[in-house]
Structure 1
Amino acid sequence: MNLKILSVVLPVMFVHSQGYLSERKIDYYVRLITKANENAMTYQLPKNAYEYYTKARQQKFGTFDFVVIGAGAGGTVVANRLSEIANWNVLLLEAGGYGNDFSDIPNMYFPIQFSHFNWGYNSTPQTTACLGLVNHVCLYPRGKGVGGTTLINGLVYARGHKTDFDKWGEMVGNKRWSYNKVLKYFKKSEDFVYRDYQIPYEPEYHGTGGYLRVENFLYRSPQLDAFLAANQELNLGVVDYNANKLGASASQLNTHNGERFDGGKAFIHPVLKRPNLKVLTGSYVTKIVIDKTTKVAIGVEFTHNGGYYFVEAKKEVILSAGVFGSAQILMLSGVGPRKHLEEVGIEVIEDLEVGTTLRDNPTFFGLNFGSNYTEPVKPLEDYVVEYLDGVGPLTISGNNQGVGFYESSYTKGTGIPEIELMFIPANATSLLSQRSFGLTDETYEDVWKYANIPQTFIFYVVDLHSKSVGSVRLKSKNPFEYPLIDSRFLSDPENRDINTLYEGIQLALKLAQTRPFQAINATLQGGPLRACKKHPYLSKPYWYCALRQLTINLYHPLGTCPMGKSPEKGAVVDANLRVFGIKNLRVADASVFPFALAGHPNAPTVMVGEQLGDLVKCEHKNDIIAYSYY
């Protein structure tokens, strides 16, 4: 997003009036949305972080008890909870800024990718997936700002299945991470508001009064009703999926009366007046300073507003820079795979497998269906009025109205979901679709170009427990170079991932044949892909070819600093989130997940932040004088 252009339409922050929507306010949002869509067509994402480069001499910034690196879904929680202790001083460093009226609109999902809120990472050229994308490169949108990727993601609140956390606790040798323990942290964060009384809701699995709002959207598309009815016809169920049930539902979203409720809004804005919390935006961390003799993290080096600084951490450094940022900063600081660090000329302080296990929920984006139902297309002014009233299409990120969680043949009869279907009713496709996914002209023409947007609905097919493993490595020891990201989707040697996604495609096709979908004449459209023309259309070999073309990233990378019992088995942090071999250094973000979960990473990342708050308070309890800020 070109902020110089946007400045003419971002003069003020509006407060919603009670009942009366002024023409001025409506016109403001119409111009804001229009300009955002126009700018997104030409905005060029950065290829490195040289905007933060400086030649300034290093200065001392000061001393804090805790220095938190990164204000994403984990770091915002950490900064909030640590600053509850009145006699602890907390510094939160964040490269981006705060959200604004533009980022608040959930359905700016595509335009916000092409703005200063996105780091703009890409993978290296791939051989097993993303083959229908330009140069075989997978795009990796990652949020930059107070809130991190919660500023730009799809906002679905889906924690993962209880068996994930029981497995997690067993793998790391600590029941703190088992389901019965983590549930209390999920509920502690959550403020669930039940708005759609037709959707199943099990209160015992939800919290109220926490910082993080979770709600249903209003109002549902008739195509979503068809999706839910189709699940019922096949006895797949309509359920509260956060109650560990298989089945489908309207999405539970991190919105507040229809506005995006990012991590900054949830955990930082309410506590900004705490005198012991300093949030320093525009701050790019280049290194964690670790004493080579004692292996104690003593502070952080960063750039800010053209200056270069060192800040001392008296108690701990908490790294919450995200799946790519945390791995990159650790390696730049001398913590990582010995061979790799030596290759790029970094002195090794601790030999750990940082960045060796990049995981994800690979997703197939090639299932579009036409129908005889036409979603009404209203003037933008009408949508803005609805948005300001907390309802309507602008309140739903990417129009992702429904999700369903299902077993695969690998988990049949266990109740463990392996497949997720995300249901996207009509009017979700936009002129930005090709650019947002990075599709080649040929791929776009084969699947999307001729879709009737007001009638077309889409299934995204998600592999929840992916077995494929990628990596994150440094391009060089220059901290302003982006890391090398090798996603390696669908590369597992047993082909379990591609088999699972194929089963998901067949499930979506089966749902489309049910009475509710046939009542709106649901018909597969798009294809055949020319890249797969050697296979009979819709045959199993065809779908396997299509999966290689159109399986890409879904905002869900994780696992680059995995938790575990021992570094000899590849773990980077222990069950208390401490980096092995380094004192006073922890990691708290999705990089610590030991495997891919049957959900979306945001909710469990918030849980990790909550856990860290309690862990630190427990370990430093003798230093606590007053719990003044709650």
Structure 2
Amino acid sequence: MCYGNPKIIFLLFSLLSWESVTGYCNTQNRRSATPVNEVDYLTNLIETAQKNALTYQFPKNADRYKPTDENKIEDFGTYDFIIVGAGGSGTVVASRLSENDNFNVLLLEAGDFGNNFTDIPAMYFPVEYTDYNWGFFSTPQKTCCLGMVDKKCPLPRGRGVGGSTLINGGIYARGSRLDFDRWAKHVNDSTWSYEKVLPYFKKSEDFHHRDKAAPVYEPVHGKGGLWNVEYHLPRSPQLNSWLAANEELGYGVADYNSGTGLGASPFQLNTINGRRLDGGKAFIHPFLGRKNLHLVKEAYVTKILIDHIRSSAEGVVFTLHHKKYTAKASKEVIMSAGVFQTPQLLMLSGIGPKKHLESLNIPVVKNLQVGSFLKDHPTFYGVVFGSNYTEPTKPLKEQVEEYLRGYGALSLSGNNQGVGFFESKFTKGTGYPDIEIGMVPAVAISDLSQRTFSLTDQTYEDLWKPMNRSQSYITYVISLHAESTGTVRLNSSDPYEYPIVDVNFLSDPKGKDIETICEGVQILMNLSKTQAFQKIGAKLGGRPLKACKEFEYLSKPYWYCAIRQVTMNIYHPASTCPMGNNPERGDVVDSHCKVHGIKKLRIADASVFPFSLAGHPTAAVVMVGEVVSDLIKKEYQ
């Protein structure tokens, strides 16, 4: 059996092919042949995937899971805990609960483990065009995504053991300490204060300071945890210019995970020797030998079984290989299906807004504002710069060789190297960042860029097509505490239909969100004029957007127009089942993540965030998994 030190297991992943390791661990995999030459194998894999991504069509629903006989239901057994969804939090909860030999844990996941392809961080775009992405899109938008096909924002969500950690940028950014103190105050429970959650962040982390020039505040970082954190190597000269420019303007270079959340830095990443370390590999794969941990892949949950008399969750209904099953939970059902699908399942089970459920003829079990407060980080991708620095372009085979040695272009998602966290005029002097700017050095634009961002031909021709890929660097501006609120709703009572997601970015009546992004753009323009950036000839690139031709180029009205054209999401949805003590104001779970009014039902994923954080949600999602696991252990000790 495959059981023991996760770092030893990962070493096996590094030295052998994925197929060899999964064979060693006695798990099923779609492929069985072990490549003779790993360099040639990975080179061919990348070339094939990039080609396939250009024509791949996203599924429109989850019909692939439908049972052959809808009326035939088999008993799958009884477990202490049933965890729905093996995402960033679900993998943690399953791993931690199964540490207790007295707990019998069932983990249901609709996808499979990652593989050699998902391991490669630079396959960030091509991996979206595989079964590892559910392939959601928003409804047509009126205030954002206007330069995108059908005015819909693409909403990638991971499908597999690890969830979105299989396909995201792999960035480790916890947020500001003020986020968590605000969280604790909001729910009136110090469990979520920075002082209390910091040990949980450190518990899961294994930090390695391999870029010695990068700023690090060691006391806040963990050692020996299951989840590796490291810096990418080598640095781009454009990244060094970015850091120098921030110092020149007085923003400073700092460890943004130190608690302040402020400062410029190279990104900290959830990779290990340049390979993606998703939640499945970190928290589940090393422990598959535990007899009390039962992972069922390709299992699609369609309903939570509710005892109406006791208002209690008793189990779930799911499909597996076109058969329908029920599984019972003696202690709890824990929802970790993600920000879109956790509320979808609650509503399908009768827990949600009364009027919405009644309109779909779903019996109302509990009237809660599930899916009513979607929060996200609206992100503007419309500022690109040219330079006189040319990034050397290496043959793919050479890049693969570097990747296998733990560094180089393939070991980074989308070449996403630098970041800065800033205060806008709305938070100036508070120490609370509300603007994030990402800096992506040259060779970030690819043949897949237009398709991945769903840009119209005109938007792409104006924005990125004119750029010299080997010299240009891309930036993006994020509003970290956006006031705009979206929704997640059911399309029908059919569990195989995708939910309706309205992101509703930049719709706040006072216009604070768009003003915050516009201020971020001005920070970028000021940074580009520094001596540090002028040394590499930094110059605003692209052409004026034709959609904004009525406005003077680079004027504030022009930027407002451009921001609405090219603002979309960045893998950061949250808050569809927000935490709080008052269901009357829309809270769905209490401070222990228990669903209000329903016994034995808990939620552990980004759905429970009471608001968006000043960081990337994955780190906090894992922290939630750690906290919830301890709360459960104490309750049932």
Query: Paired residue for 1:578, among 594, 597, 600?
Result: 594
Query: Paired residue for 1:50, among 63, 74, 86?
Result: 63
Q: Which amino acid aligns with 2:216?
A: Y
Instruction: Work out the CA distance in 2 between the residues paired with 1:51 and 1:368.
Output: 40
Aligned-pair identity (%): 58
SS at match of 1:185: helix
Unpaired stretches in structure 1, ≥5 consecutive residues = 1-9, 16-21, 622-630
Q: Could you tell me which residue of structure 2 aligns to residue 105 of structure 1?
A: 120
Instruction: Work out the CA distance in 2 between the residues paired with 1:619 and 1:260.
Output: 34
Q: Could you tell me which residue of structure 1 aligns to residue 342 of structure 2?
A: 326
Say yes or no: does 1:409 pair with 2:425.
yes
Q: Could you tell me which residue of structure 1 aligns to residue 75 of structure 2?
A: 60
Q: Could you tell me which residue of structure 2 aligns to residue 124 of structure 1?
A: 139
Which residues in structure 2 correspond to 1:371-450 (within 5 Å)?
Answer: 371-450=387-466
Say yes or no: does 1:257 pair with 2:266.
no
Q: Which amino acid aligns with 1:51?
A: R
CA shift digits 1:425-450 (9 cap, x unpaired):
00011000000000100000000112
Q: Could you tell me which residue of structure 2 aligns to residue 26 of structure 1?
A: 39
CA shift digits 1:233-254 (9 cap, x unpaired):
0111110000033210000000
SS at match of 2:268: coil
Instruction: Work out the CA distance in 1 between the residues paired with 2:176 and 2:508.
Output: 23
SS at match of 1:242: coil
CA shift digits 1:143-180 (9 cap, x unpaired):
00000000000111000100010000000010000110
SS at match of 2:319: strand
Q: Could you tell me which residue of structure 1 aligns to residue 251 of structure 2?
A: 236
Query: Paired residue for 2:196, among 173, 181, 186?
Result: 181
Give 1:270 deviation, angstroms.
1.2
Instruction: Work out the CA distance in 2 between the residues paired with 1:522 and 1:125.
Output: 35
Give 1:95 deviation, angstroms.
0.2
Q: Are the equivalent residues in 2 in contact too, given 1:13–1:101 (CA < 8 A)?
A: no
Which residues in structure 2 correspond to 1:456-495 (within 5 Å)?
Answer: 456-495=472-511
Instruction: Work out the CA distance in 1 between the residues paired with 2:374 and 2:21.
Output: 41
Which residues in structure 2 correspond to 1:185-334 (within 5 Å)?
Answer: 185-245=200-260, 246-334=262-350
TM-score, length-scaled by structure 1: 0.95
CA shift digits 1:3-50 (9 cap, x unpaired):
xxxxxxx994489xxxxxx98211111101100100000011111000
Say yes or no: does 1:172 pair with 2:184.
no
Q: Which amino acid aligns with 1:104?
A: D
Q: Are the equivalent residues in 2 in contact too, given 1:14–1:25 (CA < 8 A)?
A: no
Instruction: Work out the CA distance in 1 between the residues paired with 2:136 and 2:160.
Output: 15
Instruction: Work out the CA distance in 1 between the residues paired with 2:210 and 2:398.
Output: 22
Q: Which amino acid aligns with 1:601?
A: P
Query: Paired residue for 1:38, among 32, 51, 54?
Result: 51
Q: Which amino acid aligns with 2:201?
A: F
Q: Are the equivalent residues in 2 in contact too, given 1:106–1:259 (CA < 8 A)?
A: yes
TM-score, length-scaled by structure 2: 0.94
CA shift digits 1:403-459 (9 cap, x unpaired):
110000001111110100111000011000000000100000000112110001011
Instruction: Work out the CA distance in 2 between the residues paired with 1:532 and 1:62.
Output: 60
Q: Could you tell me which residue of structure 2 aligns to residue 76 of structure 1?
A: 91
CA RMSD of aligned residues (A): 1.1
Q: Could you tell me which residue of structure 2 aligns to residue 496 of structure 1?
A: 512
Q: Which amino acid aligns with 2:474?
A: I
Query: Paired residue for 1:588, among 600, 604, 616?
Result: 604
Aligned residue pairs total 606
Q: Are the equivalent residues in 2 in contact too, given 1:299–1:313 (CA < 8 A)?
A: yes
Q: Could you tell me which residue of structure 1 aligns to residue 176 of structure 2?
A: 161
SS at match of 1:243: coil
Give 1:55 deviation, angstroms.
3.2
Q: Are the equivalent residues in 2 in contact too, given 1:160–1:598 (CA < 8 A)?
A: yes
Q: Which amino acid aligns with 2:282?
A: A
Query: Paired residue for 2:542, among 526, 534, 556?
Result: 526
Instruction: Work out the CA distance in 2 between the residues paired with 1:36 and 1:508.
Output: 34
Instruction: Work out the CA distance in 2 between the residues paired with 1:201 and 1:43.
Output: 41
Q: Could you tell me which residue of structure 2 aligns to residue 507 of structure 1?
A: 523
SS at match of 2:517: helix
Q: Are the equivalent residues in 1 in contact too, given 2:86–2:163 (CA < 8 A)?
A: yes
**Closer, same or farther: CA 13–518 of 1 in aligned 2, 3 Å:** farther
Instruction: Work out the CA distance in 2 between the residues paired with 1:206 and 1:492.
Output: 37
Q: Are the equivalent residues in 2 in contact too, given 1:64–1:90 (CA < 8 A)?
A: yes
Q: Are the equivalent residues in 2 in contact too, given 1:72–1:322 (CA < 8 A)?
A: yes
Q: Are the equivalent residues in 1 in contact too, given 2:18–2:115 (CA < 8 A)?
A: no
SS at match of 2:401: helix
